[in-house]
Amino acid sequence: MTDRMMTLAAIEQLCLRALVAAGAREDNAAAVARSTMLAERDGIRSHGLLYVPIYAEHIRCGKVDGMARPVVSQPRPGAVVVDAATGFAHPAIDAGWSGFIAAARENGVAAMTVFNSYNCGVLGHHAERIAEAGLLGLCTTHAPASIAPPGGRVPVIGTNPFALGVPDDAGGAALILDQSASVVAKSEILLRSREGRPIEPGWAIDASGAPTTDPAAALKGSMLPAGGHKGFGAGLLVEILASCLSGAALSKDASPFSGTLGGPPKTGQCFIAFDPSAFSEGFAHRVSNLVEAIAAQDGARLPGGRRQAARRRTEREGVSVDAALIERIESPYR
């Protein structure tokens, strides 16, 4: 089959129809569909349409409750807590969002935790959303265990990304930093496994602790942390915030985001937002100065630069999608 060009709106509708057909309530499906479209818009294929068959499978097998209704509480003025009720993370985050942003503006800083949750898509998009509200955002999410501690072989933490969203002075984001504790996102290894391509050296070890370029062996072993023990430390930081603080299952106890075994993963997220004006004057000017110092250097690239370039291209041209993938998504509800 050949590739097909799709508009971003068509991608969002394709995902929405598939998830509703699998058994999700429409508002839950809509939140996930938007996240999927944004991933395709920014060229992040590993979090885009490739995940839709997995989402649909997980609704049908009960790993995700497509009909879940998130429960929001605010136990303190600066603390918003959301129980995702074993549903998708996206609608749970949306449910607590307005209270979270309002609390940050009122108090100068606020945090929102989510538990009994699931994969939240591209973490940087949540950080960008905070930045677009004029706030400085730090976002964390943990995942089922896939990284062993340095010197060990048994995974205890997930890829555990964090994202920083830095506002500009025009209602947008001056900078989005989004990176995981691992050398590469686990979804990239899953993608290579499905496509029959080897992974790069230094990405993972097999179950015996030996280096491997076989994605199947890597999935049975451990991903390697970026920067060795320092990357593992960053992953621990995320684990404490997104799992321990939120009340979610530990990464080592969470069921995988792939496959049908294990029941709901019950993972979590933690988002923190700061109102810069509560702490100092001239924040946007200093950020602009910093960004310019990076961008002015030949060969230097700001974090998120590739995503921005992909965004401009796909908004103009659409997205090339494997026709076989479209068939996989559409076939169950025809």
User: Could you list the active site residues?
Assistant: 46-47, 188
Residue 205's beta-bridge partner residues? 211, 222
Query: What is the maximum span of the chain, computed from C-alpha positions, in angstroms?
Result: 57
CA–CA gap between residue 226 and residue 246 (Å, rounded): 25
Instruction: Answer yes or no: are the C-beta atoms of 70 and 83 closer than 8 Å.
Output: yes
Nearest to 176 by CA among 215, 101, 213, 124: 124
Q: What is the Rg, in whole angstroms, of the alpha carbon atoms belonging to the chain?
A: 20
Instruction: Answer yes or no: are the C-beta atoms of 28 and 68 closer than 8 Å.
Output: yes
Give the Cβ contact number of residue 170 at 10 Å.
Answer: 9
CA–CA gap between residue 182 and residue 211 (Å, rounded): 15
Q: How far apart are the first and last CA of the chain?
A: 19
Give the Cβ contact number of residue 186 at 10 Å.
Answer: 24
CA–CA gap between residue 118 and residue 134 (Å, rounded): 27
CA–CA gap between residue 266 and residue 85 (Å, rounded): 9
Q: Which amino acid is at 152?
A: G
Cβ-proximal residues to 116 (8 Å cutoff; 6+ apart), any chain: 83, 84, 85, 86, 248, 264, 266, 268
